[in-house]
């Protein structure tokens, strides 16, 4: 509690906090000045229409002068705050002075209204003055040295005010007590408001700093992975080439086939890592493509692959459906979805691909009749390095990147990728692509 009275923003964040809230404080000056100008202007208009009734009021002259001071004072502060907001470079000290004097202006004018209304004995009616104190506490974050001066100013206002009228000693004592209480309330509430805003600012600044550190680490990690992946691909290409050369002479060499398969698998992992690293870096060129002809060609390649003698069906009621795609990246997606369907279904089942045109979208549905995906894994399916990754029915390995990359590629195309699945019934992946 006592730390609140003397709390200051930590030195590391103090300058940024002062600059940020110095600007915010000036904006509050302009808002409150505009409100005061509007209120005092309405009062002045009412006075002009009902001048005779106002003239007969007690202390009319003082009310009239107070209204004029509020009118012109508010106008001056609107102009000054607008200029302070317009010229932001190197004007922090000027903004602090402007805010300080506006607070003095609010407290003085609200005290003056209470002073006149209470017949020069402010302790009798404090409502308007309390509004001024509340406005200062709520709208402004004031440094400790300034709020001490402002709190002292309240006491001075009461002392000066009680010596103008002829008050007895008891009334003067009550006014001094009221002044001290109000000064303490202003100081305490202002300090609390300052503390809350400062703590929030520090926490946000720390969070931004941590985010920047994480981004830098991710960038460094991406660079390292990029270098490693690039350096690994060349020796793997050599291993793959040599393996194919040996197999061309000895097609029954099982060990070499295993080497070739492992090299191909390692290359796929490296390509996945490179794709993840480049997710937000590489620009993508697209071309208007007939989805039907594109898929027929792709399915033809799969059917001629001796390692996958499976039935892959293509269905559509449309002859032509045009979409804008990057053929290389889009092929990666379709290959991944077909490969997953093959991995998790029995050899005797088919993969069905349907193309549907509806509502300015092309839907490409890839369905298998395999083991399906358990509900707990569906939520994790598209995560990077997803824990939903499982070995296939014939032991095929997964590192949990394929579907994450596929979803990202489809989103790069302006589309979306969704999945529906039931255990032991199969899965359907649907790609939604805008028509070209």
Provide the 10 A C-beta neighbour count for residue 160: 11
Q: List the one residue out of 368, 314, 378 whose CA is nearest residue 342.
A: 368
Residue 429 has a pLDDT of 95
- Here the tokens at position 311 are 């039935």
Q: List the one residue out of 279, 284, 350 whose CA is nearest residue 313.
A: 350
Residue 280 has a pLDDT of 54
Q: Rounded mean pLDDT of 214-226?
A: 76
Cβ atoms of 399 and 340 closer than 8 Å: no
- Percent of the chain beyond pLDDT 90? 34
Residue 390 has a pLDDT of 66
Q: With bands split at pLDDT 50, 70 and 90, how would you rate the model's confidence at 85? A: confident
Residue 34 has a pLDDT of 94
Q: List the one residue out of 21, 399, 417 whose CA is nearest residue 204.
A: 21
Per-position b or e across 283-303, b if 16+ CB within 10 A of its CB: eeebeebebbebbeebbeebe
Q: With bands split at pLDDT 50, 70 and 90, how would you rate the model's confidence at 9? A: confident
For residue 42, pLDDT over 80 is answered with yes
CA dihedral for 333, 339, 343, 347, sign (positive or negative): positive
On the 0-12 / 13-18 / 19+ scale of CB atoms within 10 A, 254 is exposed
Q: List the one residue out of 333, 324, 331, 321 whose CA is nearest residue 285.
A: 324
Q: Rounded mean pLDDT of 8-34?
A: 91
**Residues 6 or more apart whose Cβ sits within 8 Å of residue 241:** none
For residue 401, pLDDT over 70 is answered with yes
Sequence length of the chain is: 436
Side-chain-facing half-sphere of 174: CA atoms under 13 Å: 11
Rounded to 5 degrees, φ, ψ at 249 are: -95, -30
For residue 301, pLDDT over 90 is answered with no
Tell me the β-bridge partners of 307: none
Residue 32 has a pLDDT of 94
Among 158-167, 282-291, 323-332, 354-363, the range scoring the smallest mean pLDDT is 158-167
Residue 358 has a pLDDT of 85
More confident site: 122 or 49: 49
Q: With bands split at pLDDT 50, 70 and 90, how would you rate the model's confidence at 100? A: very high
CATH topology of domain 287-434: Heat Shock Protein 90 (3.30.565)
For residue 124, pLDDT over 60 is answered with no
Rounded to 5 degrees, φ, ψ at 317 are: -95, -5
**Region for residue 353 given its phi and psi (left: phi exceeds 0; alpha: psi -120 to 50; beta: otherwise):** beta
Alpha carbon distance 247, 244 (integer Å): 5
For residue 7, pLDDT over 90 is answered with no
Strands 416-422, 426-434: pairing is antiparallel
Provide the 10 A C-beta neighbour count for residue 305: 10
- At 235-284, the pLDDT tens digits run 877 787 877 778 777 767 777 777 877 777 777 777 767 766 665 555 67
Q: Rounded mean pLDDT of 417-432?
A: 92
Q: List the one residue out of 170, 222, 179 whose CA is nearest residue 384.
A: 222
Cβ atoms of 201 and 165 closer than 8 Å: no
- At 48-70, the pLDDT tens digits run 888 877 777 777 788 888 889 99
Beta strands in 6-98 (DSSP E): none
Cβ atoms of 274 and 229 closer than 8 Å: yes
Alpha carbon distance 241, 375 (integer Å): 42
Q: Rounded mean pLDDT of 10-29?
A: 90
**For the chain, what are the domain ranges?**
2-213, 220-277, 287-434
- At 341-389, the pLDDT tens digits run 888 888 888 899 999 998 889 999 999 998 888 888 888 888 876 665 6
**Region for residue 395 given its phi and psi (left: phi exceeds 0; alpha: psi -120 to 50; beta: otherwise):** left
pTM: 0.58
- At 168-212, the pLDDT tens digits run 777 778 878 888 998 999 999 999 999 999 999 999 999 999 999
- Here the tokens at position 62 are 């003082």
More confident site: 84 or 274: 84
Residue 394 has a pLDDT of 63
Per-position b or e across 346-383, b if 16+ CB within 10 A of its CB: eeeeebbbbbebeeebbbbbbbbbbbbbeeeeeeebbe
CA 285-288-294 angle, 5° bins: 105
Q: What rounded mean pLDDT belongs to the chain?
A: 83
């Amino acid at each position: 509690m006592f730390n609140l009275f003397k709390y200051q923003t930590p030195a590391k964040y103090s300058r940024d906090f002062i600059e940020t809230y110095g600007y915010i404080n000036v904006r509050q000056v302009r808002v409150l000045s505009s409100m005061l100008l509007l209120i005092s202007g309405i009062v002045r208009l009412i006075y002009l229409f009902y001048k005779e009734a106002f003239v007969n009021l007690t202390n009319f002259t003082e009310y009239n002068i107070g209204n004029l001071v509020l009118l012109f004072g508010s106008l001056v502060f609107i102009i000054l705050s607008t200029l302070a907001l317009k010229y932001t470079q190197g004007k922090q000290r000027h903004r602090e002075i402007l805010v300080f004097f506006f607070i003095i202006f609010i407290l003085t004018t609200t005290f003056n209204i209470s002073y006149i209304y209470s017949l020069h004995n402010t302790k009798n009616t404090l409502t308007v003055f309390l509004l001024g104190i509340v406005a200062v506490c709520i709208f402004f974050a004031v440094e400790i040295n300034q709020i001490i001066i402002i709190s002292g100013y309240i006491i001075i206002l009461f002392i000066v005010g009680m010596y103008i009228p002829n008050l007895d000693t008891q009334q003067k004592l009550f006014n001094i007590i009221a002044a001290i209480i109000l000064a303490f309330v202003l100081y305490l509430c202002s300090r609390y408001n300052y503390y809350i805003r400062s703590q929030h600012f520090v926490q946000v600044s720390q969070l931004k700093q941590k985010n920047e550190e994480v981004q830098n680490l991710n960038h460094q990690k991406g660079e390292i992975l990029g270098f490693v992946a690039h350096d690994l691909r060349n020796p793997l290409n050599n291993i793959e080439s040599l393996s194919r050369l040996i197999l061309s002479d000895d097609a029954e060499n099982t060990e070499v086939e295993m080497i070739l398969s492992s090299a191909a698998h390692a290359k796929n992992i490296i390509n996945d890592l490179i794709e993840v690293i480049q997710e937000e870096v590489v620009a993508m060129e697209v071309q208007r493509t007939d989805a039907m002809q594109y898929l027929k060609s792709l399915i033809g390649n799969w059917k001629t692959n001796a390692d996958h003698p499976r039935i892959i069906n293509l269905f559509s009621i449309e002859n032509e459906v045009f979409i804008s795609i990057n053929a290389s990246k889009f092929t990666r997606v379709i290959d991944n979805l077909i490969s997953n369907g093959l991995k998790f279904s029995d050899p005797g089942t088919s993969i069905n691909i349907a193309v549907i045109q509806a509502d300015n979208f092309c839907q490409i549905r890839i369905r298998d009749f395999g083991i399906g995906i358990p509900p707990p894994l569906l939520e994790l399916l598209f995560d990077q390095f997803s824990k939903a990754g499982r070995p296939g029915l014939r032991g095929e390995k997964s590192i949990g990147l394929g579907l994450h990359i596929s979803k990202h590629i489809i989103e790069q195309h302006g589309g979306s990728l969704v999945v529906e699945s039931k255990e032991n019934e199969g899965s359907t992946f649907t790609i939604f692509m805008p028509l070209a």
